[in-house]
Structure 1
Amino acid sequence: MTNLQSIHQKFDKCCFTLSKEDILKLDKTDNGPINNVVAGINKHCYGARLFDDQYGLTVEMFYVNNDQTLKGDIIRLDINDEDYFHLLFRFCVLLSNEYVEVDAIDAFNTFQTKLRSFLEKSGFYTTTSQVLKQFEGKSAVMIAFSQRGIFNVKIIDKVDFFRDFFNRNYDTKTESSCEYVYLMVNTDTSLIKIGTSKNPKYRERTLHSQEPKVHLIAKWNCSKKLEKKLHQTYKHKRIRGEWFRLDLNDLKEIETFMNSETNSSR
């Protein structure tokens, strides 16, 4: 059995759809957010519960939505499981496919932040992958006085994630005489900009004055016509101008399409 098959099997055993009755039962032990969704005060909420007992550390992550119909999903994970990251991220992708309000990366980081709070309450000293990143390549030593040691909570850096997703082609050499179709992400809104420029990195810097959280994540040397094709394909997901609400499936489609078009034109 491959590791991917093992993850599929684990996921099927630990991820479940919540019925209205399940949600109302969860609400009885919740501290407020679920009730606000049930009552229609809020449209949706994220939640987490940590079980710390003789069996180990297990966390339940759940999402509840009340847009027309009260529904939700839940996953139960051993936080020391070697596949924890993949299982939780797959759960977040499932949520983003099911609910238009959910961004997979934002959901993952929201759940992890909630987990961190519970771990701190349980006596762990916690840090995050983003905090530790600044010490990469340095002879740094972390010392913490806590009852139960140090726990590193994985947080996804959105810009790095998307740049890796597109094999870091954003950093390839730019030819001044060529035109490029590019993608940028606004890390605050998770919106994706599909545009064209002869110098995408310069365009990124000029946009910083208007939207400081905008970052170049991919670019392709090609005709402007491909930008128009992408705009047409995802017009139903346009939020404003050249900004679109795209999920990971959309981005994979764009990568496949752009690589196919640019490779065939060489």
Structure 2
Amino acid sequence: MTKIPQKILVEFENNFFEYDEEQIIRFSKNNGNIFAVVNDMCKEVYGLYILDENDPTFICHIFYITKVNQNLKGFGLQISPTQERRNQFVSIFSAYIAKNFQDGSKRQVETVFNTFQNMQILTFEQNGYDIIPELPNKKASIAIKYNGKGIVHIPRITNEIITNNKFEKEFSTVQIPKIDEHFVYLMLNRRNGYFKIGKSKNSRTLKIREKTLQSEEPDMIIVGLWIVKENYEKILHMEFKDKRLRGEWFNLDETDLDFLHNKMKKFACI
């Protein structure tokens, strides 16, 4: 493992902070996800909030809150779009969370990192920043003025489950559901790495790569499709309730996708 230079660690520690239980309980009154952790409805929550939308520096806090032996634990990191080592700080923060409150594996560190990066992408884009996953060259700035407030470099770690064809395949046709059956599908938004678990009664032959919401989201693609009788959409929603973002959208990691792949294998309609 590469040793982090002391100078960077000092800078990181200047932006790292811990919440006490009183602060967490106060936050839970205005945040349903934190409320769920406080009241034992889920084990952890990741989040991001903006300190002042009118502040040109656009300072934000990303945070992680959980419960250990009935004691609330919360940690945060102050970041901003123009922060020089923001991505590196988020990486260190993610490793701290994964190693102290999860299994500490490389996979888990990557999952936590991508979670925080996806939150930044959504928040910064909604507030007028342009996001790029790669810098055009080594000398490029992470906050070059463009059409909006600036260009922000936010890389993510590629999800190997999707690139190794466990789900994504060259489908051209699928079986047609019977009258008492329907489709359950897994859709990936390649822009932010989030997954939608939905259902459809549409009995027409589906072309997986073409059946996307391209008019609204060009980076949407169906990566899993099954034919079922039971209401498996709701079953899967309950299975991944701790990973729910909103509605039918979930922040699934590699372990979740392995589980889903094995659970739904018997319903494959390819």
Q: Normalising by structure 2, what TM-score? A: 0.49
Instruction: Select the structure of larger CA radius of gyration.
Output: 1
Between Structure 1 and Structure 2, which shows a larger proportion of helix residues? 1
Q: Normalising by structure 1, what TM-score? A: 0.50
